[in-house]
Structures are given as structure tokens and as C-alpha cells.
Amino acid sequence: MASKVRSSKVANSKNGSLTPTEARNSTAMMRALPSDPDTPKIARNAEDPQYKRQTASHERSLAETLDLVPHAMLARLTGGLSPFSVYQTWLDWAVHLTASPGKQMELWQKGLDKLIRAHQLALHTLYDGENCTDCIAPLPQDYRFRHEEWRKPPFNLYYQNFLLIQQWWHNATTGVKGVTAEHERAMQFMTRQLLDVLSPSNFPLTNPEVQERTRAEMGLNLLRGMRNLQEDAERLRRGKPPVGAEKFVVGDTVAATPGKVVYSNHLIELIQYSPTTDKVRHEPLLIVPAWVMKYYILDLSPHNSLVRYLVGQGFTVFMISWRNPGSDDRDLSMQDYLRLGPLAAMEAIKSITGADRLHAAGYCLGGTLLSIAAAALARDGDDLLASVSLFATQNDYSEAGELKLFINESEISFLEDMMREKGFLEARQMAGAFQILRSNDLIWSRILRVYLLGERPPMTDLMAWNSDATRMPFRMHSEYLRMFMDNSLAAGRFNVDGRPVTLSDIRLPIFALGTETDHVAPWKSVYKITFQTDTDVTFILASGGHNTGVISQPGLPGHHYRIQAHRSSNPYLPPDDWFAETTIIEGSWWPAWSKWLAARSGPFEAPPPMGTAVDGDEQLPDAPGRYVLQH
């Protein structure tokens, strides 16, 4: 049965469907449409609630326009963080704490106890500083005070008092009766961020490691640090990549797996990679990366390229490379990303290879978009997909970790006003939000090493890729944030072509990957796919974080994973129980996924045509294409 979703991937002004060749020329189509700001650039379903909400922004009154100007100016000053949201959080906590004399008494008692412990530590340090024991231990994930010099006076007093204060503020921001769970988590987060700024590890006069290095090098470390700071500030001002990133050249050092762009439209280039085996599996594989960053995290250096590994296992691999949108793309929507992205790519792959079915894998936001596409195809009875693989992908945002603290009506409205001015969200603003989630590891430890100790850590391919971010168009990002806030996909309220889709319609085999220390997509949130769908799900939990857990090439020491298949006929297994009963397997998870794909693939056969575009267009470039080079 032909899918209505696939047949209407790109709708023209006459509501017809475009062939893949015509879809490639959608740039010209978009430019030909009216430029009036009240007219959307791509025809859409007028009954779609998301469409109505977004297009309403084009019909602003004078009062709304006047509101937009100060909001946008304030957003630039705060880096996109809504001060109204921060004030709401603080007010909820402060009012309830003021009305809780019992909690106040408890905090006075805890404060007095910590003061006594700090006083006893000072006396013990005075009389026997060499053998003084700590009165409080850092958290396991806190690496700031592991240098042995922190155990010597007076530095032990500095960091021990800091930890006592940190613990007291944790007690003060938790357990206040009446405060919403959302505001309690936000208060903890904001307080922790402020305290991290004041950590004694951040200042030369209170950091023994910095003082030891300064004495040993006669201050040369601080001179190097000043030079590093000046160089980094200049590169940031000019929009240049960080020091050392120039060694990783896209198409040469990274993103170097041979292939060719075989399809292109306004939003994507589709890369087909050259086979390296005499025979390949019958079903091709489409990979849908996140559009927040460039696609080549999955095709880094030759030794850690997931694409190169899969091609070597006999799979015909296709990769989507997303366009880096500009202000002209402000009206691109989630529906456009769906139609011009995975759905258009699937049609092109089917046309090129002649395969009736294909495997599809999505990473992070790309996995969310792939889940929507799979649910829409299932809703319309289309069996194009043979399986779905989701890497670090959340489809239910009810437990989305600390990233959820940034998503509320005040914050989204604030971001919308800021994005509406330029038409997109700056790449550095999104990167900054992710860095704040791990400020100790990504901000303060860097300040210590690079600017105080004068060390410039060697650039890696992953670090270079991480600095190569993309922008996000206003409308799409606004729709995604509201989907995140409303949790509409998990609730079955997200619409495709004016009708809702639900994950429970997906009956395909699913391979889902979570990573142990993921701060963007916590693994227990990723694990929810096991009960969101009515199908067999193989869940794997790999060591590492959001990126390092995915880039886990065979032969890399220190990596491990857990894996277990959940049958649709079996009762639900909570994540903690799943973790307790699965055993650790040393090594990379890539071979396990390759084996899983092979078990659901047909026999080997001759490779499909290579480098023949849908219409034989000879102007399409070789991999990595043009879009990945856009800045």
C-alpha cells in the first residue's frame, strides 16, 4: 500500500507531489513562492494546530511588535536565558521557605553543625596538619580536589569549607514543602552553577596545583595562559574554530569515507558510500544524524568511523547531511524536516537501489525524527522500513534530565522573540547550553588547565567536530521545543499531515542504544522506548557519554556494554531491574549492532549502482558534499 506520507513529502503550490528530481530543485521552488512575510514559503496543511500556532506569529499586532523589541534585546544580554523563568523559580522557593519555620530551624541546625565541623577541622589542622582527616568527601564525579596538594593546609580548609557550604545549599534547596518538583530541580541547578563559579579550584591564590606550577615555572604558566586566553578570545570574536581544529579537514582528515552525493534538495544532501566488499546485503541502511551538529560525528577519522565500519561489514550505507540554515530558512518547520529529510531520502534510496525495504538508524534528534517518520509510515500502512535503530534518542521527555530545566513557556517565548529577529538560533547558543549542563568538565576544568596551568590540550577529531555546530531555523526549533515541553509525541498528539502519530503503531524490530553518562539523553529516558512501542526492542547500554558512547570502535580499550532483548509479549522490566540482571560485555557495541542488522537482512548480492543520482545529475559532488562545508 503506497504511503500518503511518502507521496506527499514535498508539496507544491498546487498540492501535488514532486518526483525526487523535482524535490532536489526545491530551492528554486521556495524562492518562487511569494516573499510576503504573511505567506509561508512551503505549502502546509492549514488544519494542522502546529501550523495555526506558528503562522499566527506572522499576524502580530502593534502591541506584540513593541513587546518583541525589548525581549529580543534582553535575550541578547542574557544569552537567551529568560530572567522571568529564573525569577519564577526563585520566588516559588523563597516564598515557601519563608512560610516553613520547621525547615528554617532545620537549616539553622545544619548550618551550626557544619560550622562546628569546620571549626574542629581548623583546630586539627593547626595542631597536626599533616595527619588531618577530611570532615566531608567530594562527590564521586567531582574531580576538582583530587590533587594531593589539596590535603595540605591551608588548602584543605579552603575546599572542605566549600564542600560544607555546597552541601548546606543542597539541603536548603531541597525538601521545601510546596515547591514544585520542576522548580526544586531548577533551584538546585542554578545554586550549583553559582557555587561552581566560587570554587577555590578556580582561583590561583586558593588552588595549590596552580601555585605549585607557578613556583616551578617562575610564572611562565600564567603567561602562557594569558596568551591562550587572548588567542581564544580573538578566535571567538572572528567566529574561527578553536586552536588545532584546522588539522581536521572535512573531506580529508575527517568525513573521508569515499562516497558520492546522489540526491539533494533544499534541506539535505544524501550521501551514498562506496562499497568495499564484493557482495552487500540486499537492504540498504539510511542514517539520520541530528541537525544540531554536522553529520560526520558518525564518519570521523578512518579508525573510528561508524560509516566505514558498516561499509566493511557489507552494508550499503546512505547518510543525510543537513543544510546549515540561514535567515531565509526561518519558516522551515518540523514537517519540512520530516518530508525533505528522512522521507525524501527513503524515496531516493528506493529509486537508486531498487530495494523494497531498508533499514534506518537515527542519532539523537535524528532518531526522534526517524521515530516520527516510522510512526507516520506505520499509521498509513507503508512497510518500507525493515527495522529502526535509535542511538541516544528520547521520544518521551517526562524524564529528560537537566536539559528539561531550560524548557518552559517563559523560556520558549523568550527564545522565540530572540530567534524571530534573526530567523534562526545561533550555533554557539545551543553549544553553550550543553556546556552548562556539565560546567565542571567543559568550562571550569578547561579554565584551570588552559588559562591557569597554561596547558593547551591536544585537539582531537571529536573536539574539532564539536566546535562545528549548525544553526536552527526559527519555526522548526520553536516547534521542537514545544513538542519537548508538551511531550506531545509520547502522548500521541504530534501531527503529521494534520493527523496524529503514535509510537505504538510501530511494529518493526527496534535497536535502541543508551549511554551510561549521557547528560543530554539520560539512558533511563531512552529506555522508555521498550514500553512506548508494541514490538520487540533490543536495548543496549554502552559506556561513555552522549558522543563518546556512540563512537566506540572495536579495539578501543576501556569500553563495555550491556544488551538484552525485550519481547513484546513479555511484561515490562523497569530500567533498574534491567540493569541488575544484564551482564557487562567488554569491547565495542558496534559488532553487536552489525550482527543484529545482519540477522534481519536478506542474502548478499552484487552492490547497487554507485554514484548514479536519481536523475543522473552529474553536478552533484563527491562525499562529503557541499552542505557540510557551510558555516
In a domain, 11, yes or no: no
- The range of the structural domain enclosing residue 372 comes to 259-398+487-629
Does an H or E element contain 475, and which?
Answer: helix 474-486
pTM: 0.87
List, by residue number, the catalytic residues: 364
What is the mean predicted confidence (pLDDT) over 610-615?
61
In whole angstroms, give the CA distance from residue 90 to residue 70. 23
Phi-psi region of 588 (alpha: psi -120 to 50; beta: other; left: phi over 0): beta
What is the mean predicted confidence (pLDDT) over 489-503?
95
Bridge partner list, 513: 391, 540
Residue 372 corresponds to which amino acid? I
Angle at which helix 208-217 crosses helix 220-238, to 10 degrees, equals 110
C-alpha of 48 from chain center: 27
In whole angstroms, give the CA distance from residue 210 to residue 60. 55
Does residue 18 carry a pLDDT above 60?
A: no
Q: For the chain, what is the radius of gyration of the CA atoms?
A: 26
Give 252-270 pLDDT, tens digit per residue: 999 999 999 999 999 999 9
CA quadruple 245, 249, 255, 256: dihedral, nearest 10: -140
In a domain, 203, yes or no: no
Neighbours of 570 (CB within 10 A): 10
Angle ∠(486,501,267) on CA atoms, nearest 5: 85
Residues 41, 44, 46, 51: is their CA dihedral positive or negative? negative
In a domain, 53, yes or no: no
In a domain, 266, yes or no: yes
Q: Please, which pLDDT band fits residue 437 given cuts at 50, 70 and 90?
A: low
CA quadruple 342, 343, 344, 349: dihedral, nearest 10: 80
In a domain, 466, yes or no: no
Angle at which helix 83-98 crosses helix 181-197, to 10 degrees, equals 110
Give 378-427 pLDDT, tens digit per residue: 999 999 999 999 999 999 999 888 778 878 888 888 888 888 878 888 87
Residues 161, 167, 170, 176: is their CA dihedral positive or negative? negative
Q: Are strands 285-288 and 358-363 parallel, antiparallel or unpaired?
A: parallel
C-alpha of 203 from chain center: 31
Q: Please, which pLDDT band fits residue 222 given cuts at 50, 70 and 90?
A: very high
In whole angstroms, give the CA distance from residue 388 to residue 374. 8
In a domain, 620, yes or no: yes
Q: State the cell numbers at 580.
A: 541488575
Q: How far apart are the first and last CA of the chain?
A: 41
Does residue 617 carry a pLDDT above 60?
A: no
CATH number at residue 272: 3.40.50.1820
What total of structural domains would you count in the chain?
Answer: 1
Specify whether the CB–CB gap between 518 and 512 falls below 8 A.
Answer: no
Does residue 19 carry a pLDDT above 80?
A: no
Residue 440: what pLDDT? 67
Angle ∠(223,227,231) on CA atoms, nearest 5: 170
Of the listed ranges 54-63, 519-528, 540-549, the least confidently predicted one is 54-63
In whole angstroms, give the CA distance from residue 300 to residue 292. 17
In a domain, 104, yes or no: no
Does residue 435 carry a pLDDT above 90?
A: no
Instruction: State the average pLDDT for the chain.
Output: 87
Contacts 24+ apart (CB under 8 A), 84-92: 84/410, 84/414, 85/408, 85/410, 85/411, 85/414, 86/190, 88/183, 88/410, 89/183, 89/186, 89/187, 89/190, 90/187, 90/190, 92/179, 92/180, 92/183
Residue 419: what pLDDT? 85
For a pLDDT cut of 70, what percent of the chain falls above it?
86
Q: Could you list the beta-strand ranges (E) of 404-465.
A: 424-425
In a domain, 98, yes or no: no
In whole angstroms, give the CA distance from residue 276 to residue 65. 57
Reduced to 3 states (helix: H, G, I; strand: E, B; else coil), residue 561 is strand
Reduced to 3 states (helix: H, G, I; strand: E, B; else coil), residue 7 is helix
In whole angstroms, give the CA distance from residue 308 to residue 261. 16
Give counts: helices (H), strands (E), the chain. Answer: 25, 16
Give 159-195 pLDDT, tens digit per residue: 999 999 999 999 999 999 999 999 999 999 999 999 9
Reduced to 3 states (helix: H, G, I; strand: E, B; else coil), residue 406 is helix
Reduced to 3 states (helix: H, G, I; strand: E, B; else coil), residue 31 is helix
Bridge partner list, 515: 542
